[in-house]
Structure 1
Amino acid sequence: MAWEVLSAIGTVAFAISGAIIAMEEEYDIFGVYLLGVVTAFGGGAIRNLLIGVPVSALWEQEMMFQLAAISITIVFLFPHKLLGPWSRWGNFFDAIGLSAFAVQGALYAVDLDMPIIAVMVAAILTGSGGGMIRDLLAGRKPLVLKAEIYALWAAIAGILISIDMIRSDAVLYGLFLAITILRILSYTYKWRLPSRKIQLP
């Protein structure tokens, strides 16, 4: 049950995120749907490639594609009612998508008996891969590559799940909530990872 619920939460959150960014960049309706779908499913596609699962497995998620399409359609039809709240809640939805997909990606890798590194990579890429593709297609610097703490939370979810600390749906939902809160705190209080800027002569 946790798998399906987290997949649905992540799909809706990232589809909305991609669609709104597409409209901010003044993309046409095709671009809005494309960016919304890529954001929702891009991370899973990259994860599947790296851990040896056929990318075609994504097409088996018919219900998730329907959820994404419905979410994007609502955003496209009622943008003015949603863009205001999005300016206040956009990072919140992004945090939900990151957390839900990170947990889901880690569960996917554990189910395939992957080693801890593979589980971490699956969590990171599922949680942030779609957002990276979204930002690149929108001509923006990918959020995950900035000093701001983002993918680290997905990696932590992957580690906890891979070492078998998470054993029940209730604990998985607790982990999802904890990662979401940590992500919200990190952008609210501007937590940063160490970074260094150099200038070449």
Structure 2
Amino acid sequence: MNAHDLLWGMAPDQLPADAPAWAQQVLLAGQPVVVRRAVAGAGRVAVGVRGSQRGERLAAEMPVASIKRRCSPEQLRGEGRAELAALQALHAVTPFMDSLGLSWGPTGGVGYQLATGIAVLHHGSDLDLVLRTPAALTRVDAKALYQALCAAPCRIDLQLETPYGAVALAEWSGASKRVLLKSRHGACLVSDPWSALELSA
């Protein structure tokens, strides 16, 4: 399982003892949790529970044995309600993203709404995307990609998923010598997000 995957099957009694009522209601309603980037215990996966309000987010761990269904960002490519800018943007960038020849898909609110049918987006919502980049993406190519996405109907936040974690396209396409790499072990500044040597240094 990868960060941003949606998982169904977690039960309310698998939440932390001090979990808020809204989180229990989310699971009682059969809604999915999202895989997050963190280390979990044996036989468990780190997940986040998403509520209806922006501030309603809860970190938890889900037993792998409880997973009934999994949905990755790559599986979520529907158009949804065309009047919402974030979904218009997804439709607009799909041909270009497909042309890259790499696995990609929507995450965040867009991915959640497409997977569940629950209206979590609004007219000011951004479009969050993940692009799987097993091989290094040059800064020149990153800048070209960033500029191409700037023409979309809303702001796009694209994360480049490397073998060692994720880095924001906006950062990697910029001028900073070091960028923030987010991995399951935490976040650190690196000059090459595709280098295992930096992480072990």
The two structures have a TM-score, normalised by structure 1, of 0.32
The two structures have a TM-score, normalised by structure 2, of 0.32
Q: Higher helix proportion, which one?
A: 1
Structure number with higher relative contact order (C-alpha < 8 Å, ≥ 6 residues apart): 1
Q: Higher strand proportion, which one?
A: 2
